[in-house]
Structure 1
């Protein structure tokens, strides 16, 4: 089934925004890179920001589905799936598609705390954190809120280290620390 024009535009715009950034990507670049006319773009999206939001929603859906699917493929246990997060990140970091985190980029370009694009980026991080916390609850850990925050800091730090510093060990380093944190935490009896 062929994607409709709106979905096709969002998919193509997602790639352009991810590679070039949001402010640096103007409508002329979007027309050139997507092959979709300005008239068609404005038919589906009133503003570039509306198109950015749609692209971020698509990226969120695709990324979270990929993460969760791979976690389940790599481990059958909730604790193992939590730790598999870092293996999945390592796979992503080592792929040619890795150009950093689109949501970190979006929040750095749209810094006003209540800007819709910044809120959409925060929502993505929140949904990932909720998934991790759910796994920690299933694994029987106490104080899952604190553990989730700590693991999310490791996740975000690994992304930054892999992208900015080009660390080849960022995911494994973060996983080693996560294992230490989980070993020191007390699962419920």
Structure 2
């Protein structure tokens, strides 16, 4: 089954000014970095008036938070739907995590994880960004843990953390190497972890 990656950037002609700002800002922040992207660049690319931006978000900091919240919701919806529709059993779905990553890595709009990028760019000093990143991680891990429990893992939380580390490592490696191969390699390691966790039950 062919899966499209999640739609990070909506058609600019079909959405309102607020959503258009979020869509364009998200693309620029992911591609060029938050600090390197000024408000003028966002306004020029989106075609939205400055007063409209400040009406909706009041500041660049609020825009960044709104972008990250939107990114988390879009990505998690796509991630869950991809996995649930691509595999029949919880055990298969645990491994399908890495099939989803592979599709994501191969998408032309992939510039890494917005949350990893944001935390590293801010040198872990911006607590609001760190809190959003932690919430995104927890939401992702909650879904993975549900699969681990359903698959009969002996220690589902531990397996979740182990798979989460593989996910993060694959994302960073995919950005560095500019290839989707880390998803394939991480899946091979995940298969050992999943088999061990379930066999030890």
Q: Name the TM tier (shorter chain).
A: over 0.9
State the partner residue of 1:158.
170
Alignment pair present for 1:143 and 2:128: no
Give the TM-score of the pair, scaled to structure 2. Answer: 0.88
- Counterpart mapping for 1:87-106 below 5 A: 87-106=99-118
Query: Hey, what's the Cα distance between the residues in 1 that align with 2:190 and 2:22?
Result: 35
Query: Hey, what's the Cα distance between the residues in 2 that align with 1:186 and 1:155?
Result: 20
- Counterpart mapping for 1:25-44 below 5 A: 25-44=37-56
Query: Hey, what's the Cα distance between the residues in 2 that align with 1:101 and 1:84?
Result: 18
TM superposition shift of 1:80: 1.0
Deviations 1:87-123, CA, capped at 9 Å, x for gaps: 0101111121111111111111223456111211121
Query: Hey, what's the Cα distance between the residues in 2 that align with 1:183 and 1:136?
Result: 11
- Counterpart mapping for 1:62-101 below 5 A: 62-101=74-113
State the partner residue of 1:124.
136
TM superposition shift of 1:28: 1.0
Query: Hey, what's the Cα distance between the residues in 2 that align with 1:37 and 1:78?
Result: 48
- Contact map agreement 2:145 2:160 (CA 8 A) in 1: yes
For structure 2, the residue ranges without an aligned partner over 5 or more in a row are 1-13
For structure 1, the residue ranges without an aligned partner over 5 or more in a row are none
Classify 1:70/1:109 alpha carbon distance in 2 versus 1 (closer, same or farther; 3 Å). Answer: same
Query: Hey, what's the Cα distance between the residues in 2 that align with 1:113 and 1:17?
Result: 18
- What is the SS of the residue equivalent to 2:198? coil
- State the number of aligned residues: 189
- Contact map agreement 1:142 1:188 (CA 8 A) in 2: yes
Classify 1:112/1:168 alpha carbon distance in 2 versus 1 (closer, same or farther; 3 Å). Answer: closer
- Of the structure 1 ranges 159-168 and 29-38, higher mean CA displacement relative to structure 2 is found in 159-168
- Contact map agreement 2:106 2:179 (CA 8 A) in 1: no
Give the TM-score of the pair, scaled to structure 1. Answer: 0.93
